[in-house]
Amino acid sequence: MPAIGLARCDSGSASGRPRPSPNQLSTTGKVERMNIAVVQGRVRDVPDQRVASDGSLLVSFDVIVEQASQTPPSRASASEAVGTQVPVTWKGSQAKVPAISQGDMVTVVGTVHRRFYRRSGATVSRTDVRARRIIRGSGVRASRAIADVVAACQQE
């Protein structure tokens, strides 16, 4: 499994078949697309928790995706790791908050979102991965989570 990936394709590429042209039509006559992000790395800092206006819990954290040539850092040095830093946001109820902490190896499966907001009179944007599933570690559980999210996106 690649350390970080983004698929924008039809359902064929999720099964390993060649990716069709972006203009290929489905049997319904519509162009099918997906927004799926898979990020695997270490949690950089202690996740930030806050309550959203609708009462749900928002958990935000950064995942550091190490470059292939790097030696994996120890849990203690996760905040100093060099690599690609990917912001992640999870939204849900207090009862389902992911049990992760600084330095944990995680696999995040979700979608890429960009939001715009005003700060100091200027419009700024932030791009992050909205997590649908967060799995501690990698392996079989992570592979199943990826397959589940791909299937759910196909139904939307």
The number of residues making up the chain comes to 156
CA distance to 12, 15, 20, 115, per residue, from 151 (Å): 11, 11, 18, 25
The tally of domains found in the chain comes to 1
Which CATH number goes with the domain that contains 65? 2.40.50.140
What is the rounded average pLDDT of the residues 113-132? 93
Binned at pLDDT 50, 70 and 90, residue 150 comes out as confident
In tens, the pLDDT along 72-112 reads 555 545 555 578 999 999 999 887 888 899 999 999 999 99
CA atoms within 13 A on the CB side of 109: 21
Domain that holds residue 30: 4-155
